[in-house]
Amino acid sequence: MDYNETFSPVVKHSTIRLVLSLAVSKKWTRSLYGLKQAPRALFRRFSDYLLQLGFEESLCDYSLFVFNQRGVYLILLIYVDDILLTGNNDKQMQWLIEKLGTLFSMKDLGPLSYFLGVEVTYSGENMHLTQSKYALDLLERTKFTAVKPVSTHVPAGQKLSQYVVEPYSNPEQYRTVIGALQYLTITIPDLSYAVNQVCQFMHMPRTTHWTAVKRILRYLKATHDHGLVYKPGDVRLNAFSDADYAGNPDTRHSTGGFCIYLGTNLISWSSKKQKTVSRSSTEAEYRQLAYTAAELSWLGSLF
């Protein structure tokens, strides 16, 4: 069944950031391993073997496995053919890898330094996550390496509309660049609002939309080495949310966003157009609080 369909186990990016933040706070070591292949059958066999070893599969993210027995706490994430492992017992981590290596072809990629296009560097106890190489590659492909950088990704008061006359001549390029910019939001949260705006016109981009994309690329030229810094600290969740009112000029939908921190470490965020029209700014704010509460509830279940 479904023989021609591709299946790849993909852990949520919020889960990855949460686990990395937790590992930094607990001062756990982090290792990366590569599986030779990871189709559906191999993933099921791999996960079944983890369950036999005493791991539990998360009901909130099926690519997250946790071992918690006799004071040993291990966390394992699967992202297609990569495995990220952390925990409080280095000896047990090594035992686990040896056990997995008897059944699966694996390659030890060493301490976490490059994962999903994210570069990981360390400064003392702090961890710095960036996508500088990925960003520079994008600027190279779009021939934006020599442009003049700007300090903001959106001009003040910008409102994009689909009801403009002139279509953009290369919609395939538009969609390709937007896809790359979306991937950059893994570690550059301040791109989220601007990227979400231009994502709404991928079906039929106009010249004004491409102008907005070029502004984002010029901003990226100035901030390509920016990212997230994770520091040791407490593991309490803190959330912030906000929304405009009827900001979309075409549908009058509001745009809302949230940021969620684990201690001082940013682990989850969003900037999206709300699904329905709000009848007041208060309703838009409460609606966004509901979206934020839903994400907090999911994170609570993950914990």
Cα 220–chain centre separation: 17
Q: Residue 242 falls within a domain, yes or no?
A: yes
* 22: three-class secondary structure by DSSP: helix
Report how many domains make up the chain.
Answer: 3
274 within a domain of the structure (yes/no): yes
Residue of 113, 10, 97 whose CA lies nearest to 53: 97
Q: Is residue 52, in this structure, part of any structural domain at all?
A: yes
- Residue 89 within a domain: yes
- Specify the higher pLDDT residue, 108 or 125: 125
Phi, psi of 109 (to 5 degrees): -95, 5
CATH number of the domain within which 78 lies: 3.30.310.200
Asked if residue 7 is part of any domain, the answer here is: no
Domain boundary among 193, 223, 253: 223
**Do 203 and 239 share a domain, yes or no?**
no
As given in the structure block, the two tokens for residue 122 are: 């360390």
46: pLDDT confidence band, cut at 50, 70 and 90?
Answer: confident
Distance, in Å, from the CA atom of 90 to the CA atom of 86, rounded to the nearest integer, reads: 9
**5, part of any domain:** no
175 within domain boundaries: yes
Tens of pLDDT, residue by residue over 150-165, are: 999 999 888 999 998 7
Query: What is the domain extent for residue 272?
Result: 233-302
pLDDT digits (tens, 9 = 90+) for 54-99: 999 999 998 999 999 999 999 999 887 788 999 999 999 999 999 9
- For residue 208, what pLDDT is reported? 95
Same domain, 170 and 145: yes
The per-residue pLDDT for range 226-255, each reduced to its tens digit, is: 999 999 998 899 999 999 999 999 999 999
pLDDT in tens, 220-229: 999 999 999 9
Q: Are residues 237 and 215 in the same domain?
A: no
Across the range 107-122, mean pLDDT stands at 90
> Which residues lie below 8 Å from residue 59, measured CB to CB, with a gap of 6+?
301
